Structure 1
């Protein structure tokens, strides 16, 4: 009779502090090092993520391995991207000690998630991570663009960033992250995480953001062109599009493009959907290229 694989043991406060002591690691808020010390929280994140044994999960910033071990309870494979030398070196040893039956289903990639251009092995189908707060949006957008194999995900970010990512057009916090994330996925808020589940406790609350991949809009222009127009539209939040877009095209071209896209000149970027921005990009000639 074959033995059932042992369930990974999870890290509590004592284990997290013990691992940190081994590395002589003193977490600093400046570096965004806040380690989850509550097993119930990481299990909740895994549950909310909807991952199954069929998923290859990409994790960013695994730290000491709290969430990694919970992911290995459920996922078929976990690939973790870790920038810190000491943390990347210790992680495989931690997996061996706490989840010995899952060692073959785990790989650590010692790299900067903002600069990776490929992920080894079977391509990831899910992204589940406690993202470093100072780079959470750029990392999320970079990986969504890099890995079309990603079908769904759940990330923990600063609460106000979670609100922005999941905001709908017209909302006070709707902005560049909201629109760009909508290029890749349907995004929703999936809960709040308190401060006391971290060591050290951060100065801000955390939020969970869940997303499901959808095909990008069908368009004749590049994603980069659409994103440049999104950036211009929100560079001056209270400016109407007619004024905001004059930084990237002459006034008469902007007026013609707004008319062609069926958008009122005094509309603000905060009210447009990703599809509105795509129509606008198609109607507005790329004057940067024109003058090159």
Structure 2
């Protein structure tokens, strides 16, 4: 196949969702409502944590970082998707596409690290409750967050620099609603063996380590919880970890459906639906999961509403 320099492909075409033209308005309103819910819900979580001194603890500090990351993750994808649906202009500039891919990888990886950090926090709280304040001190919490941001930025930068070295074929149609790295690699006319090697090695390590940390933390938590004789103690332990465990299952479940259980790199309708789950639905559900299942958040919300009414 004839190679073309990447400069000959000034823009890509995002096909978006396989929906009928008469259904565009319905889906536009649906995704707009979901995006506004995501932004407002996560901003509310951040605001409550900032205003309520009782929430100035490590677990809620990590939760505020997760809420901020979810806002960024949705904002780099959904607004462009809504604009394309409204204007029927599916084009995205080459630089814009690469930038979108970079930030998607960054905040997707950051979510991965933050979920691992939150699992470690729950492990210390349940398995070493007497040492919690000394272990989860402010310096450690800040270092964990700074490390998560650092490795996420380096990870995203590495894959972006490798991608911009590739040439792309004349066909610039992306069968997706955002610039996903796997789709872009499939469209390339260059040798992508190095890109694939880095994805399966470096990317695999950055995925497996946090996931293994989460599994290890919950194995230790489960072992400790089973030793609790009282039902009240079991319920308290479950309420402490239930929200986080549900978010972890939702995040990794949808991620695995797209990148691990898919039969090929050609995105199907099923893969697009799964992508919607972890790019749109999961960030929207996180504020509801934590606010409805966390007693402290509910109390802070009640106080905030009373003050607003006053």
TM range (shorter): under 0.3
Greater relative contact order: 1 or 2 (C-alpha under 8 angstroms, separation 6 or more)?
Answer: 2
Normalized per residue, which structure has more helix?
2
TM-score with structure 2 setting the length = 0.23
Which has more strand, going by share of residues?
1
Q: What TM-score, normalized by structure 1, do the two folds share?
A: 0.24
